[in-house]
Structure 1
Amino acid sequence: MIGFSAVNNAVTVEEVEALHVLFKRLSSSLIDDDSIHKEELQLALFQTPYGKNLFLDRVFDVFDQKRNGVIEFDEFVHALSVFHPYAPMDEKIDFAFKLYDLRQTGFIEPEETIADADKDNDGKISREDWKAFVSRNPSLLINMTLPYLKDITSVLSSFVFKTEAKP
């Protein structure tokens, strides 16, 4: 299994084991190769493996840290650990920043988000600008916490997404 040091301290061994069960289910929903493909993530989130979705593309790209076109188990655990209620706020901020940094330049450019986040008026939103903006607008991170990850071992059945495609 995964080296537990790669995951923030918010996630317990039991939760990682429960995530492994979920990972196995998702990674075999369309292609049984022990990796989650973009279509499988789309199926899990939207009940259809078809269609284009910018949010899904960004989430998948941020999850796929190895940039090999699939989400492996260690990437899955690391990415989901960010949504844990006990995950450090800095990890949530970094994850959200990566989602909005569409061009992966290390900056959120004005056309990528709200212009008033650019406090130094240099035409870019740095991580520091973003952190200050999120601190002033904490609702931006409301979706960065999934309360049921705290007790995933007891609520695994509600965490496991449907894996049947809707027509």
Structure 2
Amino acid sequence: MGNKLVTFTEQQLVNYQDCSFFTRKEILRVHKRFREVRSDLVPTVMTENQPVTVRIPLDSMEKLPELKENPFRRRICEVFSRDDSGDLSFEDFLDLLSVFSEQAPRDIKVFYAFQIYDFDGDSHIGAEDLDIAIRLLTHQQLPEEDMRQIAEKVIEEADVDGDGKLSYMEFEHVITRAPDFLSTFHIRI
């Protein structure tokens, strides 16, 4: 008795519960999963500011089974890393999995989906953003003309104000009509 390993302080666990959609048990499971990615970098016990300072490189994160088949894996890691590099700290990883959890509300998922599709970070999804997304989704197997037509059609259908790009509100309107959005914007731990 008393040999139980304490990964986080009581206050850290309370804070993580408050800022995620996870229970204590799930938070510890997320840490275990994070540590499995690079046990040589991630300590068993996260002390002081290690949950923020210990970072797993993007190339290792992309190999996670939960991400490796996703064509947006690099972009997902970039969006959730504090410095946009794609290298993830435990807290970044916890945020990522929390947003992709079943418990996360639709509006949070839509917000992050928009961030993922906004490749150039200009707060709009334009033709260039759509071009990158289409290339990723089709593994660059479509002819240029077909990709251009798809991007044009998306903007034509969703661009309510006619400015040639999608605002967050326009994107949200389209996504809320997609019946499979919640089931596909999901990672199970």
Distance apart, 1:91 and its partner CA: 0.9
TM-score normalized by structure 2? 0.65
* Residue 133 (str. 1) matches residue 174 (str. 2): yes
From the CA coordinates, give the structure whose radius of gyration is larger: 2
Q: Which portions of structure 1, spanning 4 or more consecutive aligned residues, are displaced by more than 3 angstroms?
A: 45-48, 66-69
- The match for 1:155 is none
Give the drift of 1:66. Answer: 3.3
**Higher RCO (CA-CA < 8 Å; seq separation 6+):** 1
Alignment of 1:58-97 (within 5 A): 58-67=75-84, 69-97=86-114
Structure 2 residue runs of 5 or longer lacking an equivalent are 1-7, 43-53, 131-153
RMSD of aligned alpha carbons: 2.5
Deviations along 1:93-125, one digit per CA (max 9) or x if unpaired, are 011111110101111113423212222211121
- The aligned runs of 1:1-167 (5 Å cut-off) are 1=8, 2=12, 3-4=15-16, 7-8=19-20, 10-28=21-39, 32=41, 34-45=54-65, 55-67=72-84, 69-113=86-130, 114-115=154-155, 116-146=157-187, 148=188, 159=189
Deviation per CA, 1:51-86, whole angstroms, max 9, x where unpaired?
Answer: xx9622211101212335520001100111011111
* Equivalent-residue separation in structure 1 for 2:98 and 2:67 (angstroms): 23
Give the AA of the match of 2:172: K
In structure 2, give the amino acid aligned to 1:103.
Answer: D
Structure 1 pair 40–128 and aligned structure 2 pair: CA distance change class (3 A): same
Q: Which amino acid aligns with 2:104?
A: A
Cα 1:105–1:37 change in 2 (3 A) is: same
- Cα–Cα, structure 1 residues 24 and 140, in superposed 2: closer, same or farther, change >3 Å? same
Q: Which runs of 5+ in 1 are unaligned?
A: 149-158, 160-167
The percentage of counterpart residues that share the same residue type is 27
